[in-house]
């Protein structure tokens, strides 16, 4: 799983998971960790960052199907 920041695509975290692990396992912790990181690096509000990350993860999930 990957977390990117902004339109430029700065990588916040890249997490490789075992093939037997369900894709959504530990996703809330992953999001929380990266929202804290993103918030410390930018002036954008927490809700805007949360929405942007959730949209990106949703897009990535749909592409993987």
Q: What is the pLDDT of residue 8?
A: 73
The verdict on residue 2 lying in a domain is: no
User: How many C-beta atoms lie closer than 10 Å to residue 11's C-beta?
Assistant: 9
The verdict on residue 1 lying in a domain is: no
pLDDT, tens digit, for every residue of 3-61? Answer: 888 777 788 898 887 777 666 778 888 888 988 888 887 766 667 777 888 888 777 76
The verdict on residue 44 lying in a domain is: yes
The verdict on residue 33 lying in a domain is: yes
Q: What is the pLDDT of residue 44?
A: 63
Q: What is the pLDDT of residue 65?
A: 47
pLDDT top residue among 56 and 64 = 56
Domain limits at 35? 24-65
Q: Provide the domain count of the chain.
A: 1
């Amino acid at each position: 799983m990957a977390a990117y920041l902004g339109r430029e695509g700065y990588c916040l975290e890249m997490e490789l998971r075992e093939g037997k692990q369900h894709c959504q396992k530990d996703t809330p912790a992953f999001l929380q960790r990266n929202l804290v990181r993103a918030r410390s690096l930018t002036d954008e509000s927490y809700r805007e960052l949360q929405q942007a990350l959730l949209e990106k993860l949703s897009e990535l999930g749909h592409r993987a199907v």
